[in-house]
Amino acid sequence: MTTSKASRRSPKTAGVIAARPGATYAFGATLAQIDRCHQLLRTISAHSDMVAVCAGAQLDDASLSTLGESIFAAAHEVRVLVDTIYAQRLRGGEPLEEG
């Protein structure tokens, strides 16, 4: 019995796209930044799922506004994190040629 490469991948690498040969990297991110981004995206996804599943009908006003505020705060933190990573240009920050 044979298995495809996709089915043998671990869950952590299943969605990873390999860099093309000769790719130029423009930004660097620390593992802590990647972990935090992943955590924030999971938070946004989970809270959004809760809002979508309940459709507001079974949530009181305080719960709905709390979920909305949490989604907004996490999304804002993702934006700040992306801006921080953007500022961490590799190769001394000089502009890279489009490839």
CA-to-CA distance for 19 and 45, rounded, in angstroms?
26
* pLDDT tens-digit map of 48-96: 998 888 865 777 778 888 888 999 999 999 999 999 998 887 765 555 4
CA-to-CA distance for 35 and 58, rounded, in angstroms?
33
Beta carbons within 8 Å of 71's beta carbon, 6+ residues apart: 44, 47, 48, 51
Predicted local confidence at residue 63, as pLDDT: 84
Instruction: Compute the half-sphere exposure of residue 10: CA atoms within 13 Å on the CB side of its CA.
Output: 2
pLDDT confidence bin for 38, thresholds 50/70/90: very high
CA-to-CA distance for 85 and 79, rounded, in angstroms?
10
pTM of the model: 0.64
